[in-house]
Chain A
Amino acid sequence: MEAVYSRTKTLNGNLLGFCPGCMHGTVFKLIGEVLEEMNIDSSTTAILGIGCCGLAQEVVSYDLATAPHGRACAVATGLKRANPDTIVFTYQGDGDLASIGLAETIHAANRGENITTIFINNGIYGMTGGQMAPTTLVGMKATTAPGGRDPGQHGYPLHMAEIIDQLIAPVYIERVSCNNPANVRRTKNAIRKAFRNQIECRGYSLVEVVTSCPTNWGLNPGKSLGFLEENMFKEFPLGVLRDNTEVK
């Protein structure tokens, strides 16, 4: 029988430790497939943020370093500037990218660093157990906002794609999700485009993936999808915010 589907070679077969219903695994699979299809996995380095993504460090086959919490875009800047031929991407959660690493994120984007950022927005701190993130929705409960996010105390969710869209330098900004097969395909296309931009030296690309966190949302995977579609997508609408890919 002809094999029509197999695991990407960029995943080494070690078990992924993500919770049921978590989308980190899907995104790592998509990244791996893109790298393999574009035949760039042997020249690619991942800079992981600190968070649940660390669970993938021994699962992917390409080069990898872990950055201090929030500093992935600075580490990527140094690596890419010193090694323009290496394909460098950062992979960061919302606490990492939008809270502690806000300065590094915005300044790397503003310098137009020729890197790719994959931003996993699950509206909560996953790894540390459900604390409030800068992207937590108004009213959404977190262990450090037991009464739910209250704008009077905590302000409003940060819209990172829109914030970065205020900058002149970035070439490509898209918000996607992995809640159904069509969106998984869109996510893969967005990731491919973001890497192609880097190969063609166009500059900074951001792919924000809005995802669920069943464990820390306190919902089962099915209900998490419902919450994602009804609430997260309202706050973080999917779509292309900027695409200067064809402009030279």
Chain B
Amino acid sequence: MSKKLFLKGGEAIAEAAVRAGCRFYAGYPITPQNEIPEYMARRQPQVGGVFVQGESEIASVNMVYGAGASGTRSMTSSSSVGISLKSEGISYCASARVPMVYVNMQRGGPGVGTIQASQQDYFQATKASGNGGFRMIVLAPSTVQEAVDMTYQAFDLADRDRNPVLILGDGVIGTIMEPVVLPEMKSDEEVAALKAKHHGWAIVGHSREEKRGFLTPGFWSTDSLEAHCLELEKLYSSWEENDVQVEELYLEDAEVVLVAYGTSARIAKSTMEIMRDEGCRIGMIRPKTVSPFPARSFDRINYDTCRCVLDVEMSIPAQMLYDVRLGVKDRAPVECCLRSGGNLIEREDVVKEIKKILEGGGR
């Protein structure tokens, strides 16, 4: 069961999705996420699922809207510029309460940008993934193993909330190979039962005695839509209590607290470990959900020892920085260590920023 496999990020995510019961995938080619549709094209027919190469990202996300609206665990994926095209469809899913999972393997932007890894879609992922102010749980894996576990979990969250869930990866997570343990394959019976659970609202046809399936993100009454928004707001605020995922390291004694997610967090974390071995008191907050953002982790920083919080991200201008500032609430200065455009942050970049802070004297 717990056999270790050596898998590429995109393929591991696709296999985890299949094991979670995903039986519909539609997508459109774009680097660096082609591993996902290519894997799904081979794999879905083996499990009685459906793979469709859509004629565009727009078509693909709407196919997922249609499949997800039947209660079938459904998924799409893309990268940055392609995710922009999906935003209307995702907004429809959020409004119509259609569960679906999608993956963004971020690349450099804006525009068509570069095909290399970046974290330039943070605002898009966490603040405005489409019109109308809807929210989503956004999971940000740092390793292929975490990407697998989060993908498996994402389908449960999407089902629970009847809301889209985003896996926010990047070009490194999508294409790197690492050893992973895959989760258990759900049986055909389990997959069928997961779908059947949704029959009440799913648009698969209902007898005249049953209530019909009725999914419309369009309202003729402003009061009905306002009531709908209030309902959604309740859902979104429940996440703050129940669904924040975060890794907190050495907050009790840290002089410098690094904040990083995804691929930057790998680099930040290894920098922290090396510098701690050298006697520097570095700590770290790694949001695993960037939405809901782990704001309360910043209350657990020891502000008697902390001289600075360092936001480490692959985006210029910085984006997560604003959430970090809201968390820190002026209890310490906040600095940045940034790269962008598809350039990876290097350990030396982080070391240089930390040294600057430490050598800069007291607060």
Contact = CB atoms under 8 A, between A and B. Distances in A.
Contacts of A75: 62-63, 65-66, 69
Contacts of A68: 62, 65, 88-89, 92
A235 interface: no
B302 interface: no
B127 interface: no
Interface residues of A, number: 37
A42 interface: yes
Given A61-B208, A78-B52, 14 more contacts: A41-B208, A42-B205, A43-B205, A63-B203, A63-B205, A68-B88, A71-B65, A78-B63, A78-B64, A78-B66, A79-B203, A81-B24, A83-B70, A103-B59
Contacts of A58: 220
Interface in B54-69: 54-56, 58-60, 62-69
Contacts of A83: 70, 72, 204
Contacts of A44: 205
B196 to A, nearest CB: 12
Given A74-B54, A83-B72, A65 B67 contact: no
Residue from A44, A78, A79, A103 with most neighbouring chain B CB atoms (10 Å): A78
Interface in B27-79: 50, 52, 54-56, 58-60, 62-70, 72, 74
A45 B204 contact: yes
A205 to B, nearest CB: 18
Contacts of A61: 208, 212
Contacts of A168: none
A45 B213 contact: yes
Interface in A67-115: 67-68, 71, 74-83, 85-87, 103-104, 107
A80 B205 CA distance: 12
A50 interface: yes
A124 B184 CA distance: 54
A57 B96 CA distance: 14
Contact of A86 (B60, B62, B70): B70
A42 B208 contact: yes
12 contacts: A42-B206, A42-B207, A54-B218, A63-B205, A63-B214, A66-B92, A71-B62, A76-B66, A78-B52, A82-B23, A104-B55, A104-B58
Interface of A: 9, 41-45, 47-48, 50, 54, 57-58, 61-68, 71, 74-83, 85-87, 103-104, 107
Nearest to A48: B216
Given A57-B218, A68-B88, A104-B62, A78 B208 contact: no
A77 B212 contact: no
B110 interface: no
Contacts of B55: 103-104, 107
B217 interface: yes
Contacts of B344: none
Contacts of A9: 208
Given A77-B66, A87-B205, A103 B56 contact: yes
Contacts of B68: 78
A87 B203 CA distance: 10
B128 interface: no
A238 B91 CA distance: 39
Given A79-B66, A79-B203, A83-B204, A64 B215 contact: yes
Contacts of A79: 66-67, 69-70, 203-204
A10 B56 CA distance: 35
Best-surrounded residue of B23, B56, B203 (most CB of chain A within 10 A):
B203
A210 B52 CA distance: 32
B26 interface: yes
Given A71-B62, A71-B89, A83-B70, A64 B212 contact: yes
A65 B216 contact: yes
A57 B203 CA distance: 13
Given A63-B206, A64-B213, A66-B218, A74 B70 contact: no
Given A42-B206, A45-B204, A86-B205, A78 B96 contact: no
B155 to A, nearest CB: 15
Contact of B66 (A41, A65, A85): A65
Nearest to A64: B214
B73 to A, nearest CB: 10
A62 B205 contact: yes
Contact of B96 (A42, A54, A65, A76): A65
A74 to B, nearest CB: 4
Contacts of B26: 78
Contacts of B208: 9, 41-42, 61
B216 A64 contact: yes
A101 to B, nearest CB: 9
A87 B204 CA distance: 8
Contact of A82 (B59, B67, B213): B67
A57 B213 CA distance: 11
Contacts of A87: 205
Contacts of A81: 24, 50, 52, 63, 67
A50 B74 CA distance: 24
Nearest to B91: A68
B210 to A, nearest CB: 8
A66 B59 contact: no
Contacts of B216: 48, 54, 57, 64-66
A48 B96 CA distance: 14
Contacts of B206: 42, 62-63
Contacts of B72: 82-83
